[in-house]
Structure 1
Amino acid sequence: MKKSIILLLAMSFILSSCVYSLFPIYTPDTIRYNQRLIGTWKGPENELTFKLNNKEDTSEGYIMTIIDSGGEYKFKTFLVEIGNEFYLDMFPEMGDLHHALEVYAMNLYPMHTFQKVSIKDNQLSITTFSLERLSELFKRNQIRLRHELVSQNGDPEDAEVVITAQPKELQKFIEVYSKDESVFDQTVKYTRE
């Protein structure tokens, strides 16, 4: 039980600045493969490893493993091209989650998260969306995208945005906001090992 709580806290910390979506941002025509993504990337606080999910079929995406002081976390990950930008769509590997959280896993619904990504030489840059800024835009109805405001304690001020839009709608949203620096948060840089 103690391990379950620690894993849940670690997962929420890792994904704390992510935008959550019930649906992926990819469609079959937007999934891309980039050989340069494969390998291990060292960051300031963690390490990322990308492997092909299925060596026979690159359209099945990658397995991304995040390793930090709290443990190892696996995500099924797709490289997605929207407009002229690339994004990672991440989805937790449920085998690990179900095993670690036992009974709690039955009450959790895995969400897709996504970040902007670029590779230049031996550097991988991952830029997260600003959850605070997007929440503000959603709450003011300045973003027209299907979503729900979900609060664990019933207080609307503490509500988080869960996007419920379908993939094509998400792609249009991302393309419109991809050049707006105000909707992005920090960029974390990783160096190939």
Structure 2
Amino acid sequence: MKKQFGLLALIGVLFFSSCIYSLHPLYTKDTQVFEASLIGTWEKDEQSFIFKKVGKKDYYKLTHVDRKEDTVTDSEAHLVKLGNHYYLDFQRWTDYGDLFDFNVLAPRMDVHNFARVVWNNDQLELIFFDGDKIGKLLEQRRARIDYEKVGMEEFVLTAQPEELQEFVTKYGDELLDFSETLVLPKVLN
């Protein structure tokens, strides 16, 4: 049990150091777009990212399959266009059939995570934000955006979507971690 908890804590720290977490979404009605060219399977090594359209909605169900870790994770993904760049806003997939299956003693709170996305017919690139750079920017008070500090080093942005869009537009290039870009070729069926 201690091993499993330690592994979960390590995964949490890794995700916090390479992501931007927000209480609110990055998208608004006027910035959310849908591109059918994202639909399909993008794969590298032992990881697959499968984008599917959700009914008549203008967003995606993203299934991440990690064969090495033997995990499958579903997320809701919204494509956002800000200026000349596209971003994906990820949030845990909610199965509305399980809405009443929650733990009162340890409730879960959903947050949003953002990444810049670049794609064509052959390849998808996910460029994540650098959590350390964001933390320094906030601690130095260079950016005026609402946030809460969680624990000793983690931050959760609490600003409304319009403020988040301004923040990402202004500081996006500075805060992205291009060294950790995930490049995924498209699987042709």
Provide the TM-score with structure 1 as the length reference.
Answer: 0.81
> 2:176 — aligned with what?
184
Query: Alignment length, in residue pairs?
Result: 179
> 1:160 — aligned with what?
154
Would the alpha carbon gap of residues 166 and 172 (structure 1) be closer, same or farther in structure 2, given more than 3 Å must change? same
> 1:76 — aligned with what?
76
Q: Aligned-pair distance for 1:81?
A: 0.3
Task: State the alpha-carbon separation in 1 of the partners of residues 62 and 13 from structure 2.
Answer: 17
> 2:29 — aligned with what?
28
Mind listing any 5+ residue stretches in structure 1 that lack a counterpart?
A: 152-157
Tell me the secondary structure at the aligned position of residue 41 of structure 1: strand
Q: Aligned-pair distance for 1:169?
A: 0.4
Matches within 5 A, 1:1-193: 12=12, 15-16=15-16, 17-54=18-55, 56-57=56-57, 59=58, 61-68=59-66, 69-95=69-95, 103=103, 106-151=106-151, 158-180=152-174, 183-185=175-177, 186-193=180-187
RMSD: 3.0
Q: Deviations over 1:9-37 (max 9, x none)?
A: 69737844211100000000111111110
Task: State the alpha-carbon separation in 2 of the partners of residues 85 and 77 from structure 1.
Answer: 16
% identical equivalent positions: 31
Mind listing any 5+ residue stretches in structure 2 that lack a counterpart?
A: none
Would the alpha carbon gap of residues 45 and 184 (structure 1) be closer, same or farther in structure 2, given more than 3 Å must change? farther
Provide the TM-score with structure 2 as the length reference.
Answer: 0.83
Tell me the secondary structure at the aligned position of residue 144 of structure 1: coil
Task: State the alpha-carbon separation in 2 of the partners of residues 18 and 75 from structure 1.
Answer: 15
Higher helix fraction (1 or 2): 1
Q: Aligned-pair distance for 1:179?
A: 3.1
